[in-house]
Amino acid sequence: MAALQKTVVVVCGAAGRMGSLITELALRDGGFDIKAGIEIAGHPLAGKKSPAGVEITDNADAVITGTEVVMDFSAPEAAVKYLDICLSKKAPFVTGTTGLNPEQYFLIKKAAGTIPVFYAPNMSMGVNLFFEIVKSAAVLLKEYEVEISEIHHRFKKDAPSGTAKKIADIICAASGRDPGKVVRYGREGITGARASGEIGMHSLRMGDVVGEHYVYFGGEGEVVELSHRCYNRASFALGALKAAKFIRNKPAGLYNMEDLIKELANL
């Protein structure tokens, strides 16, 4: 029986929290060949091996040849630079880098006309299945009142979380509402009766919580609560590795976790 072909990857942002975790889990998986890790020029690990034994370089152009999947968990400016190299080498590109501005996201969409690009700010399989469950609930419970709450660690800079915003967008799309008009961020004072169609959004910051999201559908005499809790970043890294396997032989196009889940469901 022929051995399964390994997925060859280059990890950008290899010394960061996500890059290091992806490297560790890829080595443990056995289905990956990590060609190299990439970091910014001047990084202390550039030219050395990571604690996991992977060569780290700051010369992305020399390492990326088009025969590997490039996995990026760096910063928006760096991600665009790596994307440009992937375009020139025709290499598949997977990115979970967050904080992209509209212009940077446009470049990702444009690149997808030439190479396969997988973009997902949250690559947890669980949370993306959670999105599908929320979508189904929103269709079936259109007349119910909706509240969304999320909890993250005290160091998180933005509120609400991007995941909570996506949940609101999913519910609005499923129920024919405009998120710009119906989402209400917290309540204070004499607010009066709850407006019809309103979606409450609430953010909590405490301790070292990685991420928790809750959606409540309230009807006459009942409340339906849906939740997803993330206890560490391994779920994001494992999802990213699935994305790398998924995209390695795909034609040019922009792919996301929904595409991955649909393919896995059809296996």
Domain co-membership, 110 together with 19: yes
For range 178-195, the mean pLDDT? 93
For range 176-184, the mean pLDDT? 95
Residue 19: which CATH number? 3.40.50.720
Domain co-membership, 77 together with 113: yes
Tell me which of 89, 142, 156, 165 is the catalytic residue: 156
Domain co-membership, 225 together with 245: no
1 in any annotated domain: no
Domain co-membership, 12 together with 111: yes
104 in any annotated domain: yes
Domain co-membership, 107 together with 134: no
Active-site residue, 156 included? yes
pLDDT at 3 > cutoff 80: no
Domain co-membership, 261 together with 222: no
pLDDT of residue 100: 84
99 in any annotated domain: yes
Tens digit of pLDDT for each residue in 142-176? 999 999 999 999 998 888 988 899 999 999 999 99
**148 near 138, Cβ under 8 Å?**
no
Print the domain residue range for 161: 125-230
Task: Work out the mean pLDDT of the chain and round it to a whole number.
Answer: 93
Domain co-membership, 80 together with 11: yes
Give the DSSP letter string of 202-251.
Answer: EEEE-TT--EEEEEEEEETTEEEEEEEEE-STHHHHHHHHHHHHHHTTPP
175 in any annotated domain: yes
pLDDT of residue 1: 44
Domain co-membership, 114 together with 237: yes
149 in any annotated domain: yes
Residue 136: which CATH number? 3.30.360.10
Active-site residue, 202 included? no
25 in any annotated domain: yes
For range 250-258, the mean pLDDT? 96
Domain co-membership, 115 together with 140: no
Tell me which of 152, 213, 228, 242 is the catalytic residue: 152
- Could you give the CA distance from residue 161 to residue 203 in angstroms, rounded to a whole number? 8
Angle at 262 between CA 256 and CA 267, to 5 degrees: 130
- Could you give the CA distance from residue 246 to residue 260 in angstroms, rounded to a whole number? 7
pLDDT at 58 > cutoff 80: yes
What total of structural domains would you count in the chain? 2
180 in any annotated domain: yes
Domain co-membership, 226 together with 237: no
Domain co-membership, 192 together with 205: yes
Domain co-membership, 106 together with 197: no
**147 near 218, Cβ under 8 Å?**
yes
2 in any annotated domain: no
pLDDT at 215 > cutoff 70: yes
Handedness of CA 12, 13, 18, 19 (dihedral sign): positive
Q: Which of 124, 97, 134 is nearest to 234 (CA)?
A: 124
Tens digit of pLDDT for each residue in 18-45? 899 999 999 999 899 999 999 988 888 8
For range 66-72, the mean pLDDT? 96
Low-confidence winner among 75-79, 218-222, 253-257 (lowest mean pLDDT): 75-79
